[in-house]
Every structure is written in C-alpha cells, then in structure tokens.
Amino acid sequence: MTIEYSTRVYWALFTRKCPVALTISLFYAGLLGLILLALSWRVVALRRHHKVGIGAGERSDLELAIRAHANFSEYVPLVLLLLVILEASAAMPALVLHLLGATLVIARLLHGFFGLNRSAGVSQGRFLGTLLTWLVLLASALLAAGVAIARWVLV
C-alpha cells in the first residue's frame, strides 16, 4: 500500500465517502466521551484533594463522584453499542437515532452532574437521569430486537 493510496482511503473514511460512516453515533459517542472525561476528572481532583489513592476514604463527596463515574460506565457502553448497531442496520430514520442519542446525553448530564454528584439521596436530576437512561436503553433494545426479528421473518 502506497502512502498516496492510504491517504486517499483515510480521507474517504473521514469525509463519509464510505458505505457506513456512522456519523450520528460517532457524534454522540464524542459527546458522551467528553462527559466521561469530566466525570473522571472530578474523581481524580477529589482524590488529590483528599489524598485518597484507592476507594473513597470515607469521603462522601468522593464516593458520590466515584459512583457517578461508575454508573456512567455501566450504562453508556451498551446503549452506545445499540445506537451504533441501529445506525449500521440502516433501519432507523436519522431522527430516531438523534432522539435516542440526545436523550442519552441529557440523561447522563442530569444523572452525573445534577443528581448523584450533588446528593446521595433522591434528587430530581438523579431520578430523571436514571429514568431517561432506562427509557433510551429499553427503546434501543426493543428497536434492535425488532429489526433483527423483522429481517429474519422477511428473509
């Protein structure tokens, strides 16, 4: 492979001249990656502030930050994978994919920054963030299963 050829291939991929560019899920993956980075930064900053290397060191603010980060890491990968699969299947309109992606971003912001990082108890941000995350997960899972079943039946 020559340098000229590989440059053309990478440029074609970058500019969406390939059959499956996944630009919608790519956009939301980028936003969610930034949210994860912010949640991670908060944990590291609190660890340094409290001089705690492992665990929460009986610091409630650090424990909340750790859980907000962990909860994000527990839910977002599967939902994002479902979004990628739905986009790659070409069975969903772009509007549906954007609704799922945008709702997930809003849900994780509510949960991580206006919910769990503020209080260990019940809060509106935590409740709405959890509810919206579950609804996006449920909708994505049902849509993915529905697409697969429809293709099996129609084949």
What are 12-68's pLDDT values in tens digits?
A: 555 555 556 899 999 999 999 999 999 999 998 988 888 887 877 788 888 899 899
pTM of the model: 0.82
- At 92, list the tokens: 């969903």
CA dist 62 → 33, 37, 38, 71, 76 (Å):
21, 16, 14, 14, 21
Q: Between 19 and 120, whose confidence is greater?
A: 120
* Residues in CB range of 72: below 8 A, 6 or more apart: 35, 36, 39, 108, 111, 112
What are 58-111's pLDDT values in tens digits?
A: 888 888 998 999 999 999 999 999 999 999 999 999 999 999 999 999 999 999
Strand, helix or coil for residue 59? coil
Q: In which residue are the tokens 């260990």 written?
A: 120
Q: Which domains does the chain have, with CATH numbers?
A: 22-154 (1.20.120.550)
